[in-house]
């Protein structure tokens, strides 16, 4: 199983950059738990494909974003990596994609479990997810129960009293960090459950002193992303210098042809305007270099090759 190598990496807590205005959340859980529908509820729009199905509708990790109290909230939906017949290579690729989308690390991991029957298969899937992220990740985890509407008006606390022992044990392990969602809700009900969840996420972040979850693989992912950002920024700097030199050369030749001093001055003013406009364009590109890197398939392949090398060491 490709997830085996994920049991070993060192875990730590990354200190959020003072300029980091994001809240990064990852939805994890078994196929059919309602991860995609939950993501859509948080986003207030249908970003992730969602329907009731015994097979995974979500094939690849996908990102959506919204805002909450002036802060960008990034949601990453994941396929059921541990409960469908997915080849090891695909599993590794999706784990890598998730890490790229949430690097340098998620602030909260939302473990999605539907209300109702909790089979041995469900329990094993949950255990695999918990093992994949490691013990220390639990501080960043929130239980998110879906299908609240199936309770048909029953109070959730009453449901817990008769819930399977494994569910009650999870509640204890997570120290009562849980939310209950009705993904069919609209209007005030949808807003209330969204607000409750995001407030709980903020509480988790506060209790972790503003730190996000990370481990050695996330650190390696961010290291590779930073390398590619530097490469791209250097390219943008060279393009800026090339464009400025070209503008100066063209205007120099044009001004030399002119005899009228007023016309020469007009051309100099125009040259300065074009130089300023060009510099603003390439400086802006440098500032958004991270987004450009993450939008390229190249970074996924680079990090995937690194992870394959690490995985091969664990296999050997």
Confidence of residue 8 (pLDDT cuts 50, 70, 90): very low
Runs of H (alpha helix) within the chain: 35-43, 88-102, 120-133, 156-162, 165-173, 187-207, 216-257, 261-287, 289-294, 297-315
Please report the pLDDT score of residue 119 as a whole number. 85
CATH 3.50.30.60 for domain 2-215, yes or no, is: no
Please report the pLDDT score of residue 189 as a whole number. 94
Determine contact, residues 28/126, Cβ cutoff 8 Å: no
List the chain domain ranges: 2-215, 219-315
Q: Which residues neighbour 260 within 8 Å (Cβ) at sequence distance 6 or greater?
A: none
Tokens representing 223? 């290291």
Tokens representing 57? 């509708």
In percent, the amount of the chain with pLDDT more than 90 equals 59
Confidence of residue 58 (pLDDT cuts 50, 70, 90): low
Determine contact, residues 218/103, Cβ cutoff 8 Å: yes
Confidence of residue 201 (pLDDT cuts 50, 70, 90): very high
Once rounded to an integer, what is the mean pLDDT over residues 189-202? 96
Max avg pLDDT among 118-132, 155-169, 301-315: 155-169
Please report the pLDDT score of residue 134 as a whole number. 80
* Phi then psi dihedrals of residue 155, to 5 deg: -65, 140
pLDDT digits (tens, 9 = 90+) for 245-293: 999 999 999 999 998 889 999 999 999 999 999 999 999 999 999 999 9
Once rounded to an integer, what is the mean pLDDT over residues 58-66? 85
Residue 143 has pLDDT above 50, yes or no: yes
β-bridge pairing 22-28 and 11-15: unpaired
Confidence of residue 224 (pLDDT cuts 50, 70, 90): very high
Please report the pLDDT score of residue 9 as a whole number. 42
Query: With 0-12 CB in 10 A as exposed, 13-18 as middle and 19+ as buried, what is 160?
Result: middle
Confidence of residue 82 (pLDDT cuts 50, 70, 90): low
Q: Greater confidence, 66 or 82?
A: 66
Closest to 182 measured CA to CA, from 192, 170, 171: 192
Please report the pLDDT score of residue 46 as a whole number. 92
């Amino acid at each position: 199983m490709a997830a085996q190598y994920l049991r070993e990496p060192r875990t730590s807590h990354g200190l959020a950059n003072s300029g980091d205005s994001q809240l990064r959340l990852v939805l994890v859980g078994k196929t059919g738990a309602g991860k995609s529908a939950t993501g859509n509820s948080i986003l207030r729009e249908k970003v992730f494909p969602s329907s009731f199905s015994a097979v995974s509708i979500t094939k690849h990790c996908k990102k959506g974003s919204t805002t909450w109290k002036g802060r960008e909230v990034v949601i990453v939906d994941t396929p059921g990596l541990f409960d469908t017949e997915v080849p090891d290579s695909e599993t590794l690729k999706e784990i890598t994609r998730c890490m790229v989308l949430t690097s340098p690390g998620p602030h909260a991991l939302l473990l999605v479990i539907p209300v109702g029957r909790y089979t041995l298969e469900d329990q094993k899937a949950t255990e695999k997810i918990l093992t994949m992220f490691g013990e220390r990740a639990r501080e960043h985890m929130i239980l998110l129960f879906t299908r609240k509407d199936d309770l048909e008006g029953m109070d959730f606390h009453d449901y817990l009293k008769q819930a399977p022992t494994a569910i009650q044990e999870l509640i204890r392990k997570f120290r009562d960090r849980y939310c209950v969602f009705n993904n069919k809700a609209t209007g005030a009900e949808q807003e209330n459950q969204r607000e409750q969840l995001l407030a709980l996420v903020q509480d988790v972040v506060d209790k972790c002193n503003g730190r996000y979850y990370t481990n050695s693989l996330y650190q390696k992912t961010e290291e590779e992303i930073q390398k590619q950002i530097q490469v791209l920024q250097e390219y943008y700097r060279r393009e800026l210098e090339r464009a400025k030199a070209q503008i100066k050369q063209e205007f120099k030749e044009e001004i030399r042809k002119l005899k009228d001093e007023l016309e020469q001055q007009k051309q100099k003013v125009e040259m300065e305007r074009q130089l300023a406009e060009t510099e603003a364009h390439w400086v802006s590109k440098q500032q958004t270099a991270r987004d450009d890197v993450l939008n390229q398939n190249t970074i996924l392949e680079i990090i995937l090759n690194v992870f394959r090398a690490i995985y091969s060491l664990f296999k050997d």
